[in-house]
């Protein structure tokens, strides 16, 4: 995804994220560090798409879905720095989804970003969205098994899931091959982008129709 230089807009982004922080939608800490993490996420998406999507894939993804968008990280940072890509932000909580709508308007991203107020398990069964995305992202959506089960149905074959990885965890431990295979996914690779770690998981074939299971079941009875 080609970066877009938008001078002077960092201040607006910081204002938006400061509001999210006030509302408790993102955690404490310096906002410039939060933005840098979002930029690292964007770099990880670029690299993950380039290595996992295959030789017949377009040079950049066309549609990206972000799960549990909350206060807008990393989705808003990625969206405002990439052109020619459409983003869908999936958020189940009404107040957070309303905030995201306001943030999209404030950042003038309405042409490329939409907000979906929905549970991910329900969203993944919508024919309009199932198998429709090139990339899925998640920063703090849930445990690995929940993230994978909710993301896989949304990804086209050849798509890729990109997830933040916590420090100090051995590569691959959180993403067992046998569990990912149930969802049509390949083996996870862990990459470093700007000093931060991300798991990149390819969607090898369409996710089986039985997934995602009904609301709440992925967390109650995780696949791995």
CATH of the domain at 197: 3.40.50.150
Q: Show the tokens assigned to 14.
A: 């910081």
Say if 4 falls within a structural domain.
no
Say if 2 falls within a structural domain.
no
d(CA 182, CA 180): 5
Q: What is the pLDDT of residues 176-201, one digit of tens each?
A: 999 999 999 999 999 999 999 999 99
Say if 1 falls within a structural domain.
no
**Can you give the residue range of the structural domain that contains 28?**
10-220
The model's pTM? 0.93
Say if 112 falls within a structural domain.
yes
Question: Of 74, 42, 217, 218, which is closest to residue 140 (Cα–Cα)?
Answer: 74
Say if 5 falls within a structural domain.
no
Say if 3 falls within a structural domain.
no
Say if 129 falls within a structural domain.
yes
| Domain count across the chain | 1
Q: What is the pLDDT of residues 87-117, one digit of tens each?
A: 999 999 999 999 999 999 999 999 999 999 9
Say if 57 falls within a structural domain.
yes
């Amino acid at each position: 995804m080609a970066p877009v230089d938008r001078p002077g807009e960092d201040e607006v982004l910081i204002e938006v994220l400061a509001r999210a922080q006030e509302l408790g939608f993102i955690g404490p800490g310096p906002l410039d560090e939060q933005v840098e993490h979002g930029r690292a996420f964007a770099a990880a998406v670029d690299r993950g798409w380039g290595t996992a999507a295959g030789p017949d894939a377009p040079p950049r993804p066309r549609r990206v879905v972000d799960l549990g968008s909350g206060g807008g990280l990393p989705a808003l940072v990625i969206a405002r720095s990439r052109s020619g890509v459409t983003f869908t932000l999936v958020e189940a909580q009404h107040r957070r989804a309303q905030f995201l709508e306001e943030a999209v308007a404030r950042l003038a991203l309405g042409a490329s970003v939409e907000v979906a107020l929905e549970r991910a398990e329900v969203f993944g069964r919508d024919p309009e969205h199932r198998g429709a995305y090139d990339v899925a992202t998640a920063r703090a959506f849930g445990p690995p098994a929940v993230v994978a089960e909710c993301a896989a149905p949304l990804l086209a074959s050849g798509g890729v899931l990109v997830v933040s990885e916590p420090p100090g965890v051995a590569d691959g431990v959180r993403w067992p091959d046998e569990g990912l295979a149930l969802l049509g996914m390949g083996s996870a690779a862990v990459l470093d982008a700007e000093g931060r770690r991300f798991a990149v998981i390819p969607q090898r074939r369409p996710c089986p129709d039985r997934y995602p299971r009904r609301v709440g079941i992925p967390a109650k009875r995780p696949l791995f």
